[in-house]
Amino acid sequence: MSKLILLLGLHFGLLNAFGQNEQLTIPKALLTEIKKLSQAKAPALSILKMPGSDDKNAPGRFLKVDNAAPVSYSYNGRVKCCRAGGCNAPHVARLTEEFEFFDYLILYDNNGKILKVKVYNYEATHGQEITLRKWLGQFIGFDASTTRMVVGKNVDSISGATISVHGITDDINYNTRLLRTFLTNNISKL
């Protein structure tokens, strides 16, 4: 009898360890910002399967947000930037270099238009100015439909934060375009 219990315990333990679905961990900052913007008490979040986003090492994740209008989608990710003086160009990183990073989120409406951007974990030694609400407000309304956000053109540069400014701007461009492409190609399936 004890052997049967041991075998059943081992069987279910292995099933649990190797058969789990991808766990959804939500940063507190993301949930807080969704609730603030939408006034929702209990938004429902689910992983949005984007092409190429199945990689467990991806720097971020898109989520579908339900019951929290006007918020319909979110992106939560990490931007790795070259250390000051470590790369030849601010937006090009070599694999052999050490990086500094920051974590941020983007909230989108149902058309993929940015409602809010927030940097909630800044681990770099320079460039903290990109965490300011006023500076991040430049991205509100961007939807990647007609243009790109370009530092020095429609995004203010910040002296002393060049690397971080380029890093977050490039990441916002990329992820907003990715979401827009997804929504355009899958609009009839949603």
3-state secondary structure of 102: strand
Neighbours of 33 (CB within 10 A): 21
Give the residue numbers spanning the domain of 87. Answer: 23-186
Residue 120 lies in a domain: yes
Over the stretch 33-79, which tens digit does the pLDDT of each residue have? Answer: 999 999 888 899 998 887 755 556 567 899 999 999 999 999 999 88
What total number of domains does the chain contain? Answer: 1
CB 43 within 8 A of CB 71: yes
In a domain, 89, yes or no: yes
Q: Residue 3 falls within a domain, yes or no?
A: no
Q: Tell me the average pLDDT across 153-177.
A: 90
**Residue 108 has what pLDDT?**
97
Task: Give the residue, 30 or 50, on which the prediction is more confident.
Answer: 30
The model carries a pTM of: 0.77
pLDDT in tens, 89-128: 545 544 545 677 889 999 999 999 999 999 999 887 777 8
Kindly state whether residue 126 falls inside one of the protein's structural domains.
yes
Residue 82: count of CB within 10 angstroms of its CB: 22
Three-class SS of residue 164? helix
The predicted structure's pLDDT at residue 41: 86
What percentage of the chain carries pLDDT values higher than 70?
Answer: 73
In sequence order, what DSSP letters do the residues of 5-72 get, joined into one string? Answer: HHHHHHHHHHHHHHSPPPP----HHHHHHHHHHH--SS-EEEE---TTTT-TT-SEEEEEEESSTT--
The answer to the question of residue 106 being in a domain is: yes
